[in-house]
Amino acid sequence: MYPIADKMHPKKVSIIGFGRFGELLAKILSKDFEVQVFDIKDKRKKAKELGVNFVDLKDIFNAKNIFYSVPISKLEIVVKKTKEFVVPGHTIFDVCSVKVHPKRIFSRYLRETGADLILSHPMFGPDSAREGLRGLRIVIYNLKAKKRVFDFWKNYFKKLGLKVVEMTPENHDRLAAFSQGVTHYIGRVLEDMRLKNTPIDTKGFETLMKIVDQTCNDTWQLFYDLQVFNPFTKVMRITLARSLNKIYQKLLPGRVGPQHLHVGVGVGAKNLIIGIQGGRGSFNEEACNFYCRTRNIKNYKIKYLYTSESVLKVLHQGEIDRGQFAIQNAIGGTVKETVEALSQYNCKIIEEFEIVINHCLLARPDMEIKKIKEIMSHPHALSQCKVTLKRKYPDKKLVSGKGNLIDQAKAAQYLAQGKIPKNTAILAPEICAKLYNLKILDKGLQDLKDNYTSFLFVKRR
């Protein structure tokens, strides 16, 4: 086995991992120690530039002091691979930005080696240390080291001008999640927004851009590891999202007053704006009117949005107060369009209710059934009439509308306006015949007599 304790060089420091921070660490330590480095990539040229030695992994452990400067997600793999070389007399450090994770790894693989184990988090990087180390922080924790060894390094870091903070790994991660974690998260969000400097930047905006520079120069792997390997960052992200949503909510139009926060509208209140999945004459409009009538909602206006996704998107943006869309039918089952929309947006369900749906076949006044080539409607409506249509009109092609034409009422309107071929019939509510001057070719085409459809009445969460 190598190395043996009496061949270690006390003034020699080894660094495993020669990325951006490994390079910085080598620069810092090389002023006081003989530094040697190892990386899975051949970085001899860079090591030579910095005046340090690039060595093979087998030679790393002839130094007394070993720093693991590898990605957080790779630490366990590297420690497990090299644990057989760690012996009494070694002082082993990590420099991870999380501490509970390396504590677990060092305790599992290195505690019985007899080596001194110190956890550290230098709370700076190549960007933040450009002006020097004075005043910057380093967190350290004595996991299993002799007092004289731990005190040596604590005093050494202080001599470098660093503020040394002794802290347990658990407390570190709890605090870091809401300091470092949130800073890196906001930095990535701002980068994703593609913010650019302008001629009228404020000091505050310049500070935000510095955050982007400091956090996004690091690898995505570091950011990912910071978020995943700190057990407290999940709570941070949830809290941040909740706060962002809360502030967003305060900027929404104040149409809905305290007297009708649930569903109704009080005396003197402004109109409740309800966005619905359908258009004028749709079953969604019928359902909305039914709901408001039976819940004593008197002052309301309907905004026709045609699709579930549009309803939820506009609700999220604060342009409507409430949303409504179909969720399930007695024959057709769950409305796929709605399920897909709900997977993209959050909302709070106020109530689920149902009405009976009766489908009619509508055509232009100058068209007879024998001239009809295809029947267009919402795919869910077609499924509700599948058996009946096949039995009565086996020669007609069934077509689902695209875009806003997925709405039956909108398709009926387009047919009347000549925007759809005249040899098309629309499966739609009976009222659309009157609204759009269409002829009723057939009624009651649903396969089930009591063709109930359930709707959701929702508000922004």
**Cβ-count burial 390-405 (b if 16+ within 10 Å, e if not):** eeebeebebbebeebb
Q: Residue 61: pLDDT above 50?
A: yes
Span 339-385, pLDDT tens digits: 999 999 989 999 999 999 999 999 999 999 999 999 999 998 999 99
**Is residue 277 within 8 Å of residue 326, measured between CB atoms?**
yes
Domain annotation covers residue 429: yes
Span 285-320, pLDDT tens digits: 999 999 999 999 999 999 999 999 999 999 988 889
**Is residue 287 within 8 Å of residue 455, measured between CB atoms?**
yes
Domain annotation covers residue 144: yes
13 with 159, same domain? Answer: yes
Distance CA 63, CA 36 (A): 9
Q: Residue 268: pLDDT above 80?
A: no
Q: Which range marks the domain in which residue 271 is found? A: 260-357
Which strand (E) or helix (H) includes residue 140? strand 137-144
Span 78-119, pLDDT tens digits: 999 999 999 999 999 999 999 999 999 999 999 999 999 999
**Predicted local confidence at residue 332, as pLDDT:** 81
Distance CA 273, CA 285 (A): 13
Into how many domains does the chain fold?
A: 4
pTM of this structure: 0.69
Answer positive or negative: Cα dihedral of 199, 204, 207, 208: negative
296 with 334, same domain? Answer: yes
Span 5-16, pLDDT tens digits: 445 667 899 999
Residue ending a domain, choose from 357, 387, 402: 357
Residue ending a domain, choose from 204, 219, 250: 250
Question: Which CATH number belongs to the domain containing residue 417 in this structure?
Answer: 3.40.190.10
Q: How many CA atoms lie within 13 A of 186 on its CB side?
A: 16
**Predicted local confidence at residue 265, as pLDDT:** 42
12 with 23, same domain? Answer: yes
| Range 269-290 average pLDDT | 91
227 with 87, same domain? Answer: no
The number of residues making up the chain comes to 461
Residue ending a domain, choose from 328, 357, 386: 357
Domain annotation covers residue 458: no
The CA-CA-CA angle for residues 277, 279, 284, to 5°, reads 50
Residue 1's pLDDT band (cuts 50, 70, 90): very low
Domain annotation covers residue 139: yes
325 with 304, same domain? Answer: yes
Q: What is the DSSP string of 252-307?
A: S---S-GGGSSS---TTPPPEEEEESS-TTSHHHHHHHHHHHHTT--SEEEEE--S
208 with 335, same domain? Answer: no
Domain annotation covers residue 239: yes
Domain annotation covers residue 461: no
